[in-house]
Amino acid sequence: MVNFSKFLSLKLILTVAICTYNRSEFLLKSLNELILQTSKISEIIEILVIDNNSNDNTLEVVRSLKKKFPKLFISYYLENNQGLSYARNSAIQESKGDFIAFIDDDAVIGKSWLKSLLYGINNIKAEVFGGPIYPNFEINCPNWIDSNYFKRFFKKNDGYLSGLSSMIGFSGGNVCFKKNIFDSVGNFNVKLGMIGNKMGLGEETDLFIRLYKSSIEIKLYNLKKMAIIHFEGEYKLKKKYLKQRITLSGVQFVNRVLYFNKKKGIILIILKFFKQILLLFIFFICSVLSQKAYFNYLRSCWIIKGLSNGIIKSFND
């Protein structure tokens, strides 16, 4: 059980930030579930919407909810610089809570999300919390795709992340930070991440690497009930999109491990390269019997391509 009495003497303990761009329909669904969970403890929760230059009715959605729920602390801020990292940095600057949680604008928090997170803040010595992500497909996931690709788990049960997991960290779409850590390691890198509708990755990993290398001790804790349901549009089930995203993840892996430690990074890249080659042959053989094995065969091909592109780019730089 969460001991809310500990929080009631505090002005604000948690800001939940949603950075959004032209997704007012999804934003409304996300906010409705968040409002439902915060309504009884509104004194300690701030809901912050960062509008990253939307040209839809995002502002009207927020205004209508503020009017409908006047007792809730719902804030709105327009970030004119295009890019998810700019929006997240504005959320850090504008937030009033001691902790700041980020959820994607096309995601809905699970029924126990807030209760689980507040329990963690109240009872667990950690500076960063995160949890699993489950997909909500716009259409039925095609048979040739392994739907498990869209699920994100960081640890099987509740517990601290350690080793490589603590360096990689959580997904930026479902994570909570003690806000003062940004004073020590800086904010999100605005050169990385989504810019409008342009695909981009790496801003979260870049931040977690800096946390890992920081001189201050920062603990990451997984909460299995701090789960979100993430919308996966039809376009994300197209081979072209999947190839682009998975290939880019290979490039980002190279960038990440080389940034952390060049010598160890080279070893990790070689190991991952040979692992993917081995998986490629295994999945190729199994693909005769299984469509999902064919997807994982393609996935290994795309990862290898991304690793190769990343290596070439690192030499050119």
pLDDT digit string (tens) for 162-218? Answer: 876 777 889 888 999 999 999 988 888 888 877 766 766 668 888 888 888 877 888
CA angle 89, 95, 100 (to 5 degrees): 80
Q: Please enumerate, as own/partner, the contacts of 163-168 that have beta carbons within 8 Å and a separation of 24 or more.
A: 165/220, 166/208, 166/212, 166/220, 167/208, 167/209, 167/212, 167/260, 168/205, 168/208, 168/256
The per-residue pLDDT for range 86-107, each reduced to its tens digit, is: 999 999 999 999 999 999 999 9
| pLDDT above 70 (res 134) | yes
Q: 51-55, 147-151, 188-192, 302-306: lowest mean pLDDT where?
A: 188-192
The per-residue pLDDT for range 205-257, each reduced to its tens digit, is: 888 888 888 778 889 999 999 999 999 989 999 999 999 999 988 988 888 77
- pLDDT number for residue 7: 47
Domains and CATH numbers, the chain: 5-237 (3.90.550.10), 242-316 (no CATH)
Average pLDDT in the 99-128 region? Answer: 94
Q: Predicted confidence band at 8 (pLDDT cuts at 50, 70, 90)? A: very low
Average pLDDT in the 295-301 region? Answer: 94
C-beta neighbour count of 11 within 10 angstroms: 11
CA distance 283 to 149: 15
Local structure of 291: helix, strand or coil? helix
CA distances 50 to 1, 91, 110, 282, Å, are: 31, 6, 21, 45
Percent of the chain topping pLDDT 90: 61
